[in-house]
Homo-oligomer: A and B are copies of this chain.
Amino acid sequence: MPSKIDIPRKSIYRLSIYQRCLSRLKENGVETVSSDALAKAAGVKSTQLRKDLTYFGQFGTRGLGYNVSQLSRTIGDVLGHNRLQPVILVGVGNLGSALLRYGGFRKEGFEIVAAFDVSPNPARVAETNVTLHNIDKLATFVNQHHVKMAILTVPVMAAQSVSNLLVDAGIQAILNFSPTVIEVPEHVVVNSVDLAVELENLSYFIR
């Protein structure tokens, strides 16, 4: 098996998509799927799907295809989310509180276990199970609950300083929604979702 660093980052993204497709197949009682069918559902070419899988081993049966639940479990292992992964959210503004209410994470193996803000407003977590804390409780909480992942939904101005707090507290992965580049040490991973950039990118392609 190649070391993590040899595997295209895009392949990892696609694994997640494959897995979601597999879940739906499983719900529909499908037991076996060909690379062709699964690839079509995921919106990629079948050769790419097979290539992506070979980075981690051989899971198919030639002439037949893949066992749906087995492949799903294997991908889950690779992605490291067969058990529920706790996540904290920092910055409970409009976007932050919407994400707290968004149920889609749990199904995919993530649970937002707590939220933090510089000035906690309890109304913002109404109708959720999430507890809201002042941001100065962050480090203690992260340590006690062994949280490794954080969602960052603070204003641009605060992004870098809060990110530093997260890193110091021991957070290893950050999903950043602030439209700015944040600097982190080597061992911390950041994925950024930049809504305005996505819109601008679209506007380029409409003539």
Contact = CB atoms under 8 A, between A and B. Distances in A.
Interface of A: 4, 9, 12-13, 15-17, 19-20, 41-43, 78-81, 85, 87, 94-95, 97-99, 101-102, 104-105, 107-110, 148-149, 151, 172-175, 179-181, 189, 191, 193-207
A84 to B, nearest CB: 11
A2 B151 CA distance: 39
Copies of this chain in its oligomeric complex = 2
A45 to B, nearest CB: 13
A203 B81 contact: yes
Could you tell me the dominant secondary structure of chain A's interface residues?
A: helix
A87 B199 contact: yes
A151 to B, nearest CB: 8
A179 B4 contact: no
Contacts of A189: 202, 205-206
B78 A204 contact: yes
A195 B99 CA distance: 9
Q: Pick the 3 closest A-B CB pairs, nearest first.
A: A98-B98, A173-B202, A43-B181
Contacts of A102: 94-95, 195
Of the listed residues A4, A99, A110, A195, the one surrounded by the most CB atoms of chain B closer than 10 A to its CB is A195
A107 B195 CA distance: 12
Contacts of A110: 196, 199, 203
Contacts of A98: 94-95, 97-99
